[in-house]
Amino acid sequence: MNPEATASHPVFCTIVPPHVLDKLARLDDPARSQRALSTLEHDALQRTRRRITTVRGLGAPTATPSDKPNRTIYDAKHQETLPGKKVHSEEDKPSKDASVNRAHAGLGATFELYLKVYGRHSIDDSGLPLNATVHYGENYDNAFWDGQRMVFGDGDNDLFLDFTIPVDVIGHELTHGVTQHTANLDYFGQSGALNESMSDVFGSLIKQYALGQNTSQADWLIGAGLLGPNVTGEALRSMKAPGTAYDDDVLGKDPQPATMDDYVKTSRDNGGVHINSGIPNHAFYLLATALGGNAWERAGHIWYATLTGGELDKDAQFADFARLTVASARTLYGEGDALQALLKAWSQVGVPAT
């Protein structure tokens, strides 16, 4: 990847889509509305800081490829200053703070999948230290990757719980770092939806790998365990059945489409990046379940090779990505069942792959 590519367009990526927070901010319920507004304001502030940091230039941390992660956890103590107070290093004993331990474990699970399955040394493939901050803000209903670290809110214990709970959320956000260091997909429209989908796909694979699940055992949900006790829903997104993750009087209904027939044209959410990602998500699910076994193996290798192979343009559309996955499948597995399952998966979601 061009080393200047990352500096050309900063990306600030959150797990809870802005369209969800926008809806909550318009509620008649003052407490819930204010929490959503506060989260949106925090996100806007961090997005601005990300742009300023990118313009000034990120200081590259010293990193050496290693087979062991280098994790550091910070505590924001419910403030908004990053990174916060350093509270846990790689060799420290488990903390009394469950959020710290979950963040540490999630960073490790992400590092392990990328190293053991794909031979990647951390998110930049050069041993980049993995940093995370917990307890960000007051009742902050989100988690984000800011280009340098993972940041987790505690949730409000009403609509959202602690954002360190689902390991796939941690894997999702760190995979934005992998994308940043490889294809660096533009965060708008279909390329942005691909960016989000990459994080959902590998976030799901990180969870499946950590739990030792095959394709039939996996739930294919993103953010299961994150929704609070007052929400009717299972998760933030479903790769198996996009559009069914939640249907709630407060959050609304999951808007993700599964196929191009229901593609959502919108100027919000950076052109629907968290919405239309359901289409490539579902294509991956269809491929992985058709092949069976472990999704991180053949299906995962096709996606990883396409993301990191150097041919994926930063403004790639769904069809561009699909065609490159076909090329990757041929290179890796020839003309056999993997290729045929891949072509069928893209056909089922309405994306041309040839």
Q: Which of 88, 173, 234, 282 is flagged as catalytic?
A: 173
Tally of CB atoms within 10 A around 295: 26
Asked if 8-180 and 189-349 have one fold, the answer is no
Q: Which of 88, 176, 274, 282 is flagged as catalytic?
A: 274
The angle that helices 30-56 and 18-25 make with each other, rounded to 10 degrees, is 140
Q: What percent of the chain has pLDDT over 70?
A: 90
Query: For tokens 């997104």, what's the residue?
Result: 237
Find out whether 201 and 117 touch, Cβ atoms under 8 Å. no
Q: What confidence score (pLDDT) does residue 14 get? A: 85
| φ, ψ dihedrals at 118, nearest 5° | -115, 0
Per-residue pLDDT, averaged over 52-79, amounts to: 70
The CA distance from 87 to 103, in Å, is 12
The answer as to CATH 3.10.170.10 being correct for domain 8-180 is: yes
Fold type of domain 189-349: Neutral Protease; domain 2 (1.10.390)
Going from N- to C-terminal start, the domains of the chain cover 8-180, 189-349
Active site residue 104: no
- Whether the ω angle into residue 83 lies within 30 degrees of 0, i.e. cis, is yes
Buried b (16+ CB within 10 A) or exposed e, 74-111: bbbeeebebbbeebbeeeeeebebebbbbbbbbbbbbb
Q: What confidence score (pLDDT) does residue 3 get? A: 33
Q: By CB neighbour count within 10 A (0-12 exposed, 13-18 middle, 19+ buried), where does 128 fall?
A: buried
Per-residue pLDDT of 241-300, as tens digits, reads 999 999 999 999 999 999 999 999 999 999 999 999 999 999 999 999 999 999 999 999
Active site residue 274: yes
Find out whether 87 and 74 touch, Cβ atoms under 8 Å. yes
Smallest Cα–Cα separation from 278: which of 300, 258, 252? Answer: 258
Query: What confidence category does residue 32 fall into, taking pLDDT thresholds of 50, 70 and 90?
Result: confident
Q: What confidence score (pLDDT) does residue 209 get? A: 98
Q: What confidence score (pLDDT) does residue 44 get? A: 66
Query: What confidence category does residue 59 fall into, taking pLDDT thresholds of 50, 70 and 90?
Result: very low
Per-residue pLDDT of 93-138, as tens digits, reads 999 999 999 999 999 999 999 999 999 999 999 999 999 999 999 9
Per-residue pLDDT, averaged over 58-75, amounts to: 75
Q: What confidence score (pLDDT) does residue 46 get? A: 64
Task: Give the distance between the most distant pair of CA atoms in the chain.
Answer: 58
